[in-house]
A and B are shown apart, each in its own frame.
Chain A
Amino acid sequence: MAATQKRIIYRHIDLEGWSADIDCYMKDGGYEVLKSAVARPREELCAEVEKSKIKGRGGAGFPMGMKWKFLDRKSGKPIYLVCNADESEPGTCKDRPLIYQDPHQIIEGIMCASYAVNAAHAFIYIRGEYINGYRILQNAVDEAKAKGFVGKNVCGSDYSCEITICRGGGCYVCGEETGLLSSLAGGRGYPRIKPPYFPAVMGLYDCPTVVNNVESLCWVPQIFKLGGEAVSKIGVPVDPGTHVWGVSGQVQKPGRYEIETGSCKLGEFLYDICGGPLAGRTFKAIIPGGSSMKILKWGEKFNVKRPDGTVEELRVEDIPMDSASFMSCGTAIGSCGMIVMDNTVDMAEALANLNAFYAHESCGQCTPCREGSLWISRITKRICDGWGRKEDIDLLLDIADNICGRTICAHGESVAWPVQSNVGKFREEYLSKIERQDMMGGQARLDNNSYRLI
């Protein structure tokens, strides 16, 4: 079966004649879900979200219903809802079209979610680089407010909630929920330690806070409309719904594609939808879910344990496109930003490029990430510059091990995973590169055929 798209969240994206204004959205039945939702009991709505089993689309894949359930509703403090539009993971760009082309879908999602969790105030934290996106969202919020969908007495109910939009300042770590909250509270985007700063209990201003990704919030009206049960039946049961994959790098047709989870395999996806590798080239490696996820080597095989206990050999191109399957192959779909690399790419250059990113984006709060990310970056840069040493390979892995799992936030893993997987799976390539450098020194880089990524 050839892989096909199924557009639910992206139903309006790049649609002929579609515009971001509220009339266009309302003509398509927009805000009807919100109108009916504010008349329903909150417990029922939260139960629907839980039933849907929809996982968060921000990267961690935590079930949204569970996140809402953990919310401390007894504290007596106001509850806040934050829409995380700080899409900064390299390779990930799925939220951008939603913000630019369909802002009212997001706003309806925010208002539905805010009503369901009884939020006192909702925020959108949008990355600073999306400057026009901010203007579009702000305009949309103003439009929605004028129509009574946002602000005082939402849709004529007794529920009131404002939406405030805050722009980031170019900081990857502010996409991490506690880092985002630090920034939103007016400070450096330092992630906070958990415990005690679980957002559901001690979030914004130390009040219970829900932080959901843009795409996750877009699912909320769908769940309210179709019912949790029905949504849970879309795609595979362990990871229901659709995923918007942003495919970049060396494929024929890079782009954003929404497909039902598990509806096709990685190979089908790459060939049928993305058009396969560039002419005359072959796939070499794939980063499945945003640059921090572990890399997959084309041609790799995995021994995957099936639920009945048997072990099945799975080729990389046969991995079904859902979160659990990628997980069983030692990686994750993260935020579905797929970066494809073909045989022209020098893996050390690719890794050095990412390491430079992670070193630049480390907030510098905790020791392993602050010092380790820069160290790793300098080593890989040095290897690319032609001065690698054989011991650097194990050193890189050891540094990564020393960072992984020992930091305040998941940035530590983001630094470590690419190194661990890339160096681990392409060790021979590193070795031969360094051996060549041993003979030629810095000259080795100058006559390297692959183009530079750092």
Chain B
Amino acid sequence: MDIPKEIDSKIDAIIAQYPKKKSAAMMCMHLFQETFGYFDDSAIRHIASRLEVEPIEIYGMVSFYPMFTQKPRGRIHIKVCRTLSCALAGSYKTASEISKAVSCPIGETSDDGIYTLEFVECLGNCVKGPNVQVNDKLFDNVTPDRAEKLVDTIKKMDSDGSLAPLPPFSKPAGGDFDSPEYKG
């Protein structure tokens, strides 16, 4: 991948916040994940050289933390919480409903490359399960019967551009996301 020059000034800004360079690894990796969508050899080597560590260390972290990927994901990344609280509220059914609605098998990226649908572990909003995170936006109470409605909402938001994740270092988007259309 082509790593633009601006990235380096952002990395510098991250490094400046930590007493030790290596500590900036997590935030630098988020910066790359959000900017490029995945990690390849050049990304790993770039971070490693900027943080003065071995590439294997960065690679070890990329493969350790599930939020970092080595393959590009779809434009719309749907993460359905599968852990107990959400599962009790029906998240397995929700996931298969979403899967049908966007024709994308769970754990894969759709053929057109638009959707990636995944089960993830606890999203930390257990009292309002099932929770579904789409890109950087969280939708709660997505019970199986509301799955179709969620898909409609994300499609609408995708077309008007409001589903796109905010760029790195953005100002907050006002609390948890609750789309009025979605709330119905």
Interface contact A205-B88, CB-CB below 8 Å: no
Stretch of A130-138, A300-308, A373-381 contacting B (4+ beta carbons < 8 Å): A130-138
| B101 cross-chain contacts in A, Cβ below 8 A | none
Docked complex Cα distance between A10 and B18 (Å): 31
Docked complex Cα distance between A343 and B170 (Å): 46
Q: For chain B, give the interface size range.
A: 35 or more
The reply to whether the CB of B1 lies closer than 8 angstroms to some CB of chain A is no
Interface contact A170-B124, CB-CB below 8 Å: no
Interface contact A186-B87, CB-CB below 8 Å: no
The reply to whether the CB of A20 lies closer than 8 angstroms to some CB of chain B is yes
Task: Give the residue among B21, B84, B85, B121 with the most A Cβ atoms within 10 A.
Answer: B84
Stretch of A27-35, A89-97, A222-230, A440-448 contacting B (4+ beta carbons < 8 Å): A89-97
Q: Which residue of B lies closest to A135 (CB)?
A: B172
The reply to whether the CB of B61 lies closer than 8 angstroms to some CB of chain A is yes
CB of B11, distance to nearest CB on chain A (Å): 13
Stretch of B2-10, B109-117, B125-133, B153-161 contacting A (4+ beta carbons < 8 Å): B125-133
Docked complex Cα distance between A336 and B57 (Å): 36
Docked complex Cα distance between A132 and B21 (Å): 25
| A101 cross-chain contacts in B, Cβ below 8 A | 175
| A356 cross-chain contacts in B, Cβ below 8 A | 82
List A residues 111-148 near B (Cβ within 8 Å): 120-121, 127-132, 135-136, 139
Interface contact A256-B127, CB-CB below 8 Å: yes
CB of A98, distance to nearest CB on chain B (Å): 12
CB of B16, distance to nearest CB on chain A (Å): 10
Docked complex Cα distance between A129 and B127 (Å): 16
A96-B125, A127-B124, A353-B87 known; A170-B20 Cβ under 8 A:
no
Q: Which residue of B lies closest to A100 (CB)?
A: B175
| A341 cross-chain contacts in B, Cβ below 8 A | 88
| B90 cross-chain contacts in A, Cβ below 8 A | 451
| B170 cross-chain contacts in A, Cβ below 8 A | 135
The reply to whether the CB of B184 lies closer than 8 angstroms to some CB of chain A is no
On chain A, the number of residues with a Cβ less than 8 Å from chain B's Cβ atoms is 67
Interface contact B65-A92, CB-CB below 8 Å: no
| A187 cross-chain contacts in B, Cβ below 8 A | 22, 25, 57, 60-61
The reply to whether the CB of A247 lies closer than 8 angstroms to some CB of chain B is yes
Interface contact B84-A339, CB-CB below 8 Å: yes
Other-chain residue from A131, A170, A291 in contact with B84 (beta carbon distance below 8 A): A291
Docked complex Cα distance between A366 and B133 (Å): 32
CB of A315, distance to nearest CB on chain B (Å): 24
Per-residue CB contact flags for chain A residues 171-188 toward chain B (1 = under 8 Å, else 0) read 110000000000111111
CB of B172, distance to nearest CB on chain A (Å): 4
The reply to whether the CB of B30 lies closer than 8 angstroms to some CB of chain A is yes
Other-chain residue from A96, A131, A337 in contact with B136 (beta carbon distance below 8 A): A131
Per-residue CB contact flags for chain A residues 239-270 toward chain B (1 = under 8 Å, else 0) read 00000001111100011100000000000000
Docked complex Cα distance between A183 and B67 (Å): 14
Interface contact A170-B120, CB-CB below 8 Å: yes
List B residues 20-38 near A (Cβ within 8 Å): 20-27, 29-30
Interface contact A248-B173, CB-CB below 8 Å: no
Per-residue CB contact flags for chain B residues 39-81 toward chain A (1 = under 8 Å, else 0) read 0000000000001010001001100111110000000000000
Interface contact B177-A132, CB-CB below 8 Å: yes
Other-chain residue from A95, A166, A169, A452 in contact with B68 (beta carbon distance below 8 A): A169
Q: Which residue of B lies closest to A337 (CB)?
A: B126
Other-chain residue from A88, A121, A167 in contact with B122 (beta carbon distance below 8 A): A88
Other-chain residue from A93, A121, A162, A357 in contact with B126 (beta carbon distance below 8 A): A93
CB of B76, distance to nearest CB on chain A (Å): 16
Other-chain residue from B60, B68, B127, B166 in contact with A255 (beta carbon distance below 8 A): B127
| A246 cross-chain contacts in B, Cβ below 8 A | 126-127
The reply to whether the CB of A360 lies closer than 8 angstroms to some CB of chain B is yes
Interface contact A92-B124, CB-CB below 8 Å: yes
Docked complex Cα distance between A420 and B20 (Å): 42
Task: Give the residue among A169, A172, A256, A451 with the most B Cβ atoms within 10 A.
Answer: A169
Other-chain residue from A92, A169, A357 in contact with B61 (beta carbon distance below 8 A): A169
Docked complex Cα distance between A395 and B95 (Å): 32
Per-residue CB contact flags for chain A residues 55-73 toward chain B (1 = under 8 Å, else 0) read 0000000000000000000
CB of A54, distance to nearest CB on chain B (Å): 23
A166-B26, A255-B127 known; A250-B88 Cβ under 8 A:
yes
| B175 cross-chain contacts in A, Cβ below 8 A | 20, 100-101, 132, 136
List A residues 356-399 near B (Cβ within 8 Å): 356-357, 360-361, 363
Interface contact B124-A452, CB-CB below 8 Å: no
The reply to whether the CB of B151 lies closer than 8 angstroms to some CB of chain A is no
A-B interface, 7 closest residue pairs, ranked by CB to CB distance from nearest = A169-B65, A186-B22, A186-B25, A248-B85, A135-B172, A248-B126, A170-B67
| 19 residue pairs bridging A and B, Cβ less than 8 Å apart | A90-B85, A95-B124, A120-B19, A128-B67, A129-B123, A135-B171, A170-B67, A185-B22, A186-B23, A187-B60, A187-B61, A188-B64, A248-B126, A249-B88, A345-B88, A353-B84, A357-B122, A363-B64, A453-B84
